[in-house]
Amino acid sequence: MSQHRHPGAPGRAGAVPALPDLPEATVARLPEYLRALHNLADTGHETVSSEELSAAAGVNSAKLRKDLSHLGSYGTRGVGYDVTLLIEQIENVLGLTQRRAVALVGVGNLGHALAGYDGFAGRGFRIAALLDADPSRVGEEINGLVVRHVDDLATVAAEESLAIGVIATPAAAAQQVADQLVAVGVTSILNFAPCVLSVPEGVDVRKVDLAIELQILSFHEHRKASLTALPATGGSALTALPGGFAATDTQEAIGT
């Protein structure tokens, strides 16, 4: 997080949608709630209690209620939440009512996979352009889109309003691509390259690094191994679990 320290506009209950200024941790969980809600809607549920929804989203029910309370009071005591209404509200807050155009830069290994990922279209996004710096890749068609040269970014941006840029290039090229994205007015970037990006204030960057995730898991693996290596006193640290398959509570959502 961070880079969200826009100081101005303190309260300013705007005439438009209210802008509740949610805690960052809450924002990071809303998409997970949304996914769970869509599942429930598809299986015919009309209402859902905080207990059920929190289980489906893998969080604590009190946390869920507090998160939702930040959006306003959309639940009914004694009953629960109206699934359809809640979906609408969350999509509204997340700004998913408009289908945002995403520019994907770098159609290598990972870029190819992202270009073919159907989770974008299903969740309020549309890949508007595929770009690459390698001339031999320009012209290739992936999933109905033709790869264009990254220097054509300005042209692409002129054709339609790009909301988000995704960087799936090697680390060495990432900063330059970020600069180009910023230059054409992109203010949100999802960076898959293993490097830190410098961007002007007001531009949001989120980073996804597969190697980092594995290394974090490695730490816990290492730690667990060291623990079992010392049988110590009490015993039954990892073995002899009570019921098994306890509800895993958080599972983290990368962000934060």
Positions that interact with DNA (CB under 7 A): 1-2, 23-26, 48-51, 59-63, 65-66, 68-69, 73-81, 249
CB 40 within 8 A of CB 53: yes
Backbone φ/ψ region at 130: left (φ over 0), alpha (ψ -120 to 50), beta:
beta
d(CA 20, CA 194): 33
CB 201 within 8 A of CB 3: yes
Q: For residues 79 and 237, which CB has a smaller minimum distance to its own copies in the complex?
A: 237
Please give the order of strands across the beta sheet that includes 75-76. Answer: 47-48, 80-82, 75-76
Q: For residues 146 and 212, which CB has a smaller minimum distance to its own copies in the complex?
A: 212
CB of 87 to DNA, least distance (A): 15
Q: In terms of Cα–Cα distance, which of 250, 223, 248, 251 is closest to 237?
A: 223
Which own/partner pairs from 19-22 qualify as long-range (CB within 8 Å, at least 24 positions apart)? 20/70, 20/71, 20/72, 20/93, 22/70, 22/71, 22/93
CB of 99 to DNA, least distance (A): 28
Q: For residues 48 and 156, which CB has a smaller minimum distance to DNA in the complex?
A: 48
Fill in the per-residue mask, 117 to 156: x = in contact with its own copies (CB under 8 A), - = not in contact: x-xx-xxxx-------------------------------
From the list DNA, its own copies, none, pick the one residue 17 interacts with, judged by a Cβ distance below 5 to 8 Å according to partner type.
its own copies
Q: Exposure string (b/e) for 16-38, b if CB count within 10 Å is 16 or more?
A: eeeeeebeeebbbbbbbbbebbe
Q: Is 176 in the site for its own copies (CB under 8 A)?
A: no
CB of 108 to DNA, least distance (A): 32
Give the helix/strand (H/E) hosting 162: strand 162-167
Contact residue for its own copies among 102, 103, 150, 177 (CB under 8 A): 102
From the list its own copies, DNA, none, pick the one residue 240 interacts with, judged by a Cβ distance below 5 to 8 Å according to partner type.
none
d(CA 247, CA 228): 23
From the list DNA, its own copies, none, pick the one residue 155 interacts with, judged by a Cβ distance below 5 to 8 Å according to partner type.
none
Q: Is 96 in the site for its own copies (CB under 8 A)?
A: yes
Using the contact rule CB under 8 A, the part of the chain among 42-50, 70-78, 131-139, 239-247 near its own copies is 239-247
50 vs 77, 164, 195, CA distance in Å?
11, 32, 39
Using the contact rule CB under 8 A, the part of the chain among 41-49, 67-75, 108-116, 148-156 near its own copies is 108-116
From the list its own copies, DNA, none, pick the one residue 214 interacts with, judged by a Cβ distance below 5 to 8 Å according to partner type.
its own copies
